[in-house]
Amino acid sequence: MRKFIITALLASSAFVATSAQAQVTYYTDQAAFLAALGGTAVTEGFEDTTLVPGLTFVSTVGSIGGGLFNDQLAPSSQTTTFSFGGAINAFGGFWDLTPGGAGVGITFTPAPGSTLTVELPRTYSGQFWGFITTNNFSSLLLTAGTQANGVETYNLDNLTFGTGAAVPEPAAWGMMIGGFGLAGMAMRRRVRTVTFA
């Protein structure tokens, strides 16, 4: 019994370590993204060069003009970093990656954090795309993607950021339920009936 409890506790601790990794939910529907944010969204429409409080950017090429953020990302030489003045876990906007023709897509790296597992497709032409992660970040680095050779020229409108609840992936739910089951089994006491003659 003791060996079983130790095994179950080790399995539960492995579950906890796995579940600490960031879970990311991607959105292609603005309404679903905003609903997940639950009223904590801040939107920058780029109508002028004065940005909403907390939002700043540093870019090799990017600038605001014509009600858009206009930028170009070249592999190893051009980047853009958006900073948010505090911890957030949600970022999105309306992306057009077609102004310069077919590009290379965009890679996103939250800081602190790691590169997201999905690149923004180079075929986006004004649609919404965003994400919510279980890990907070205070800045987001945009670099050229890997979908082709060349550069990525894009426009961004209605950049939206804030904090919201990321929905765990189905695999995470399965692991969580399994971890609870193992912990419950480890805690369950075996009752023995003793009869005296």
List pLDDT tens digits, range 38-64: 878 999 999 999 999 999 999 999 999
List pLDDT tens digits, range 106-116: 999 999 877 88
**Regions in the chain scoring below 50 on pLDDT:** 1-19, 169-173, 176, 182-183
Number of Cβ atoms within 10 Å of the Cβ of 157: 18
Number of Cβ atoms within 10 Å of the Cβ of 171: 10
Q: Are 41 and 34 within 8 A, CB to CB?
A: yes
Give CA–CA dist 191/93, Å, rounded.
Answer: 58
Q: Are 172 and 127 within 8 A, CB to CB?
A: no
Q: Are 150 and 7 within 8 A, CB to CB?
A: no
